[in-house]
A and B are shown apart, each in its own frame.
Chain A
């Protein structure tokens, strides 16, 4: 269970985004909203990539916003599968290496072949990421997020670089493999948002204002 209470995050040192209280349980949730309304910032705050200036990020009752960076890193690499819009892959390394990078922090990646197989990219295992198409790279990013069997999956516009048809296939696959977990995904596309269990309109939940203190 993830909950945010009175959350305020400073955004690029210029704006401050304040969120209404939110709760995410098992199941999928799409965050829909205009650009700059604070969707990605919310994911980063939940993942411990950004530290809120105020409020709490409660994960199973523990306020991770106040936890030391080391603990946030540890929680993120073990329990959160984060799928980035621009993939964030090691381009010169192979698909396999991009999953094995988690082993640097002793994360179990023994399910690698199964996950790659499930996403239909097992034959690409030894291929360099640089040589893959956008759709294939997105699948690799999803595989890296899923291979550690995380409790929470955060996806920041996982189809942002893909056309609708491929994007839909990716979302359907993501929903299929994340069944029984918490999936929070940012999207701009109403049609794709409709595939999720729940849709939150972030235009109503988050309020961005210019930070006079900045």
Chain B
């Protein structure tokens, strides 16, 4: 029956292709919305979990969180390195990691920190940066530019893709991180001293500009802090609040607000997708009914030569199942291709999308697509099969 169904479908391939396309378009949008919002939420949760306090210069809390957690946006400014040293010595602090940013490599941010920033992020190759001018690459940066251990990269001044190059002070690749599906995949990590040294290599004429970025002196953009407990966290937060030259934020709180915005956007897309899907159910149902109406000559013919109505109903059901299955597969492939295309764009904003990730709810949508292809025919076939007479 399958072979005959495929041949029969080939005779009306134009019509079936349009039906499949309409299902694929709406289902792909739904899959895309679901997948991307889940990945963004997952990325935020994974990233925000480790540090409970971020200390930086006064300004937008969201900007500070996005800059230090996702390496997006510009730094708020700089704070003296003494703040880092003070926090390192503070008994309430379990860990304080300096965070400097200002340069880039083909658009990927150069993050100056200590090796502690990469705790929990295993290396795929090489070793952690130690000496000045050593760098560890995020997985995407390495694969995108075909970089390997021992290669040298020339960074550009500023965060734009085509800033002035620091050709005199290239960074040597000593390690490459495993893929994390976070913003870490799209960044280059080095010691905070390297960030200072790169700018120390430049001429005096640049000094004024350097100081704007905080590289001229021992300055950093922020400090990522992990306190020893709740009490320490609250007291440290109060201390920072009393210092007008600093702000301290809880990244989880700030990112939760970001997440709510993401959720709201995703919810709107879900509702729109659901409306499109429901409209499609009606369209497919009407098209199926019209298709069976068109096929009444064929059905009568098959009945005349002795093919039972139940068999004919099964044939049409199989054909629509195949259309539904094809639409489901194409929806999945289409949404993955969109994610692949989007990931390049999103990674520049610190969001790394994994085209291979499939969430359980997506299987639900695909099952719905399959049902969409089959249910209208199943209902009609049932009616057809009951009216098995020839006269």
Contact assessment for B388 and A84 in the assembled complex, using a CB-CB cutoff below 8 Å: no
Residues in A46-85 with C-beta less than 8 Å from chain B: 49-51, 69-70, 73-78, 80, 82, 84
Q: Tell me the bound Cα distance from A104 to B305 in angstroms.
A: 11
Residues in B314-331 with C-beta less than 8 Å from chain A: 315
Residues on A with beta carbons closer than 8 Å to the beta carbon of B389: 69
Q: Tell me the bound Cα distance from A144 to B304 in angstroms.
A: 13
* Count, chain B residues at interface, CB 8 A: 23
Residues on B with beta carbons closer than 8 Å to the beta carbon of A80: 306
Interface residue B121 (Cβ < 8 Å from any Cβ of A): no
Give the distance to chain B from A14, nearest Cβ to Cβ, in Å. Answer: 14
Contact assessment for A51 and B305 in the assembled complex, using a CB-CB cutoff below 8 Å: no
Q: Tell me the bound Cα distance from A93 to B3 in angstroms.
A: 13
Interface residue A22 (Cβ < 8 Å from any Cβ of B): no
Contact assessment for B307 and A104 in the assembled complex, using a CB-CB cutoff below 8 Å: yes
Contact assessment for B305 and A102 in the assembled complex, using a CB-CB cutoff below 8 Å: yes
Contact assessment for A70 and B301 in the assembled complex, using a CB-CB cutoff below 8 Å: no
Residues on A with beta carbons closer than 8 Å to the beta carbon of B303: 73
The residue in chain B whose Cβ has the minimal distance to the Cβ of A80 is B306
Residues on B with beta carbons closer than 8 Å to the beta carbon of A74: 306, 308
Count CB-based A-B contacts (< 8 Å). 67
Contact assessment for A77 and B391 in the assembled complex, using a CB-CB cutoff below 8 Å: no
Q: Tell me the bound Cα distance from A51 to B315 in angstroms.
A: 26
Contact assessment for B304 and A84 in the assembled complex, using a CB-CB cutoff below 8 Å: yes
Residues on A with beta carbons closer than 8 Å to the beta carbon of B304: 49, 82, 84, 88
Q: B8, B301, B305: which contacts A77 (Cβ < 8 A)?
A: B305
Could you list 8 examples of A-B contacts with CB < 8 Å? Answer: A49-B390, A70-B388, A73-B307, A74-B308, A90-B301, A103-B4, A104-B302, A144-B305
Known: A50-B390, A76-B306. 14 other contacts (CB 8 A): A49-B304, A51-B391, A70-B308, A73-B308, A74-B308, A77-B306, A90-B301, A93-B7, A100-B4, A102-B305, A102-B307, A104-B1, A104-B311, A105-B307
Using CB atoms and an 8 Å cutoff, list the residues of chain B in contact with chain A.
1, 3-4, 7-8, 11-12, 298, 301-308, 311-312, 315, 388-391
Using CB atoms and an 8 Å cutoff, list the residues of chain A in contact with chain B.
49-51, 69-70, 73-78, 80, 82, 84, 88-90, 92-94, 97, 100-105, 144
